[in-house]
Amino acid sequence: MLKYHFDWSIITSGKYFEWLVSGLKITLELSAVGIVGAFVLGLVIAVLKMSNFKPLRWLASVYLEFFRNTPLLIQIFFWYFGSYKILPTAVNEWLNNTNFEFAAAAIALIIYTSAFIAEDIRSGILSIPKEQMEAARSAGFSFLRSMQYIILPQAVRITIPPLVNQFLNLAKNSSLAMTIGVMELTYQARQVESYSFKGFEAFTAATVVYLALSVSITFLMDLYNKKVLNPQRS
Amino acid sequence: MIQFQNVHKWFKTLHVLNDVNLHVKQGEVVVVCGPSGSGKSTLIRTINKLEPINEGHLTVDGMDLLSKKTDLNRLRAEVGFVFQQFNLYPHLSVLSNITLAPTKIRKTPKKEAEEQAMQLLERVGLAMKRDAYPTQLSGGQQQRVAIARALAMKPRIMLFDEPTSALDPEMIGEVLQVMQDLAKTGMTMVVVTHEMGFAREVADRVVFMDHGVILEEAQPEEFFLNPQHDRAKQFLKQLLSPMH
Amino acid sequence: MDLDFQVILDNFTYFMIGRYPNGPLGGLGLTMYLAVVSCILSFFGGLILGLLSLSRYAVIRYPVNLFINTIRGLPLLMVIFWMYFLLPALMGKTVPESQTVIMGLTVFTSAYMSQIVRAGIMGVPKGQTEAAISTGLKGWQTMLYIILPQGMRNMIPSFVNQFVSLIKDTSLAFIVGVSELTHVGTQVNNRTMSYPTEIFIFIAAVYFVLCFAFTSFSRWLEQRLAWRKSI
Ligand SMILES: Nc1ncnc2c1ncn2[C@@H]1O[C@H](COP(=O)(O)OP(=O)(O)OP(=O)(O)O)[C@@H](O)[C@H]1O
Ligand SMILES: [Mg+2]
């Protein structure tokens, strides 16, 4: 450790800097795609899980339990290495013409995270006391109008913090995509290490970027908690 | 025994104790009353330093509460405290609730501590509940166990913060009885309560507080028959009105 | 789509215990070993960090919280790489991969466990502390005899959930070459070439059975403890 010569210049400019920046770009792309997809899919699963039709509820439960209780890495490997045998030929052809690594990682992240998101959305809606619905109905609102004006606005407010937390988890989990060759931030940090032997600098750079992401989102969330959820406190 | 001299306390900008002077002699029973938010709890909680004071002097059993040298744990072991919400330890049996502090602090052997605990339970009339858990007891029973727990440390002073306000009316009597018996043994007691019957019968002195100020300090008879201060008159009228 | 699960049967023991007893433990056995050891270490790590993060001394509280939040802001993969990279430098010798992974998992999980400990402690009503110190108990005695035993009850289901996360997280050991279940899966996949679907479905199923069992256990505990509390 004592003999180690720090050289921060290699990660602040030049080839390695560009690698790291391109890695960050892919991390952000993968996270963005993942977040949108996971949110939409999570919403659908949450609705299924709360439907009145038993087989749908059951299906949603199986989905939730299965994808929450298997490692994301295995799910990534499955989509990357193993999905071709169970997907229709047309889909396989389409996938082969796209950036397959990216697509497999995105699919895995979306499905894995959607299972957590669905649960958060569901408990958000269930946390609204059922008297709220009764009150709305007896005030003359229809079921849908009650949902729209009374239940959902409340549910959304309490669901946002856990959802944002899941988005943050997704961004961090996107680092696993490096295992199938997606050149995101962690991949590039490792790449810089093996080419330059400046692992300390490379990992520090990646660490700082991940922390910047987390800190800024956590900060926004604190603000939201203070301003929206507990506005009465100063 | 307890001496307040020009004591002040603030919660941020709220002046909760305003120039309090009070002297409680050994063996005396002092009842503190006053409207909600007047600072009664704060006053009694300063005596074992659950709340520190900001200004003035406070000595308890010879210990100066502002001095850094005062051993806080020793002070608290000397002063028993009974809470409005009982605060029994829900994960421990009645017996263990009582023996915990003597065995851990006074290093009393377990067997001896249990014997003493049984004597105390006998005294509060709950010997048969030794192995019960707090959630299995009624409020009145819980409060009596809490009193036994405080007594187990052989305190020289006992403090009560509205010990009967959380109780159903039919259980108030059993707790007051235990307190009255305790007063007869010569224990120094400070009691925040609105039970005027208890004050009349047991107290040596009644202290009336409002807005952090001690407005009146008198013998019970005098206080009830002939309150000096308008606020005290109003308070007593409200307390005795059938609306209450 | 026709799947052929013969490959699973042929390699079953290898999946379960690696080359043990003729070689080192691997496969599911090693996965469990990594998870259990890291879990025990993280329990104590989380307890210590959680207590320190509630210290009344700012000089302790601030750095500890900074550490906890830094770790929680990072992907587990980064933490493992840091260990991979820092441990040999700190220890002055090479560190076996499995120990590197255990350290990485422990540091990472301790940070999360500390939050469970914190919430558990803060969930115990303030009156309990006041009652305890009013009888003369010292701060640490109050924590040990009154607060922790009550807080633990709220923490246990969350601890079990954290253990489930740990089981899933051990799959990352694959990346530094520890031959646990995931690694064994990719090995068999590379060797046999044509059964990736079967292999990864099987491995997912193994993880699922294990994790689901503990998830269900945690739910059961939660209900049971809630019920006990209400009598
Ligand atoms: N920890 C605290 N922080 C800030 N303000 C407090 C705190 N504790 C009490 N107060 C405020 O101090 C004032 C006095 O409170 P205190 O509890 O001593 O009143 P009290 O006479 O015991 O009232 P009650 O009869 O309702 O128990 C109140 O206005 C209360 O809101
Ligand atoms: Mg009070």
pLDDT tens, residue by residue, C6-63: 999 999 999 999 988 998 999 999 999 999 999 999 999 999 999 999 999 999 999 9
The C-alpha angle C96, C102, C103, rounded to 5 degrees, equals 90
Tell me if A118 sits within 8 A of A49, measured CB to CB: yes
- Whether A4 maps to a domain, the answer reads no
| Mean pLDDT (whole number) for B7-25 | 95
Q: Closest Cα to residue B11, out of B41, B53, B70, B68? A: B53
Tell me: pLDDT of B243 over 70.
no
Across chain B, mean pLDDT equals 94
- CA-based nearest residue in chain C for residue B74: C136
Q: What pLDDT is attached to residue C223?
A: 87
**ipTM rounded to 2 decimals:** 0.93
Tell me if A73 sits within 8 A of A176, measured CB to CB: yes
Tell me: pLDDT of B239 over 90.
no
| Mean pLDDT (whole number) for C186-198 | 92
C149 vs B91, B104, B105: nearest CB: B91
Tell me: pLDDT of A60 over 90.
yes
H or E stretch at C140? helix C139-141
| Fold assignment, B2-240 | Rossmann fold (3.40.50)
CA dist B126 and B148 (Å) reads 10
Q: Do C145 and B48 touch (CB under 8 A)?
A: no
C200 vs A4, A74, A203: nearest CB: A74
| Mean pLDDT (whole number) for B66-74 | 90
| Mean pLDDT (whole number) for B2-15 | 95
H or E stretch at C212? helix C196-230
- Whether A10 maps to a domain, the answer reads no
Q: Which domain holds residue C88?
A: 6-230
Q: With pLDDT > 70 as the criterion, what percentage of chain B qualifies? A: 98
The CATH number assigned to the domain holding A37 equals: 1.10.3720.10
Q: Do C125 and B87 touch (CB under 8 A)?
A: yes
Number of domains within chain C: 1
**Band of pLDDT at residue A228, cut at 50, 70 and 90:** confident
Q: Which domain holds residue A77?
A: 21-233
| Mean pLDDT (whole number) for C168-187 | 95
A100-126 and A152-173 helices, crossing angle to 10° = 150
Asked whether the CA dihedral C202, C204, C208, C211 is positive or negative, the reply is: positive
**Band of pLDDT at residue A232, cut at 50, 70 and 90:** low
* CA trace torsion A188, A189, A193, A199 (10° rounding): 180
Q: B37 CB under 6 A from ligand 1? A: yes
What tokens were used for B123?
A: 């005294």
The amino acid sitting at B110 is K
**Lowest-pLDDT range, A64-73, B78-87, C222-231?**
C222-231
Across chain A, mean pLDDT equals 90
- Whether A6 maps to a domain, the answer reads no
Q: B193 CB under 6 A from ligand 1? A: no
Tell me: pLDDT of A62 over 60.
yes
- Whether A131 maps to a domain, the answer reads yes
Q: What pLDDT is attached to residue B241?
A: 67
What tokens were used for C61?
A: 């509280």
Q: Closest Cα to residue B98, out of B145, B161, B163? A: B145
Check residue B27 and give left, alpha or beta (phi > 0: left; psi -120 to 50: alpha). Answer: left
Question: Which chain C residues are Cβ-neighbours of A65 within 8 angstroms?
Answer: 208, 212, 215
The C-alpha angle B187, B188, B190, rounded to 5 degrees, equals 125
Q: What pLDDT is attached to residue A165?
A: 93
Q: Do C197 and A78 touch (CB under 8 A)?
A: yes
| Mean pLDDT (whole number) for B192-218 | 95
* CA trace torsion C56, C58, C59, C60 (10° rounding): 50
pLDDT digits (tens, 9 = 90+) for B80-103: 999 999 999 999 999 999 999 999
pLDDT digits (tens, 9 = 90+) for A171-185: 999 999 999 999 999
Q: What pLDDT is attached to residue C227?
A: 58
The CATH number assigned to the domain holding C24 equals: 1.10.3720.10
SS3 readout for B159-176:
EEECCCCCCCHHHHHHHH
For testing the chain A interface, which of C31, C168, C218 should be mutated: the one with the most A CBs within 10 Å? C168
pLDDT digits (tens, 9 = 90+) for B90-147: 999 999 999 999 999 999 999 999 999 999 999 999 999 999 999 999 999 999 999 9
Q: What pLDDT is attached to residue A234?
A: 43
| Mean pLDDT (whole number) for C137-163 | 94
Tell me: pLDDT of B244 over 80.
no
- Whether C178 maps to a domain, the answer reads yes
Tell me: pLDDT of B58 over 50.
yes
Q: What pLDDT is attached to residue C1?
A: 60
Q: With pLDDT > 90 as the criterion, what percentage of chain C qualifies? A: 84
- Whether C102 maps to a domain, the answer reads yes
Number of domains within chain A: 1
Q: What pLDDT is attached to residue A130?
A: 84
Chain C closest CA to A221's CA: distance in Å? 14
Q: What pLDDT is attached to residue C39?
A: 97
- Whether A140 maps to a domain, the answer reads yes
- Whether C1 maps to a domain, the answer reads no
pLDDT digits (tens, 9 = 90+) for A189-199: 999 988 988 88
Tell me: pLDDT of B179 over 80.
yes
H or E stretch at B3? strand B2-11
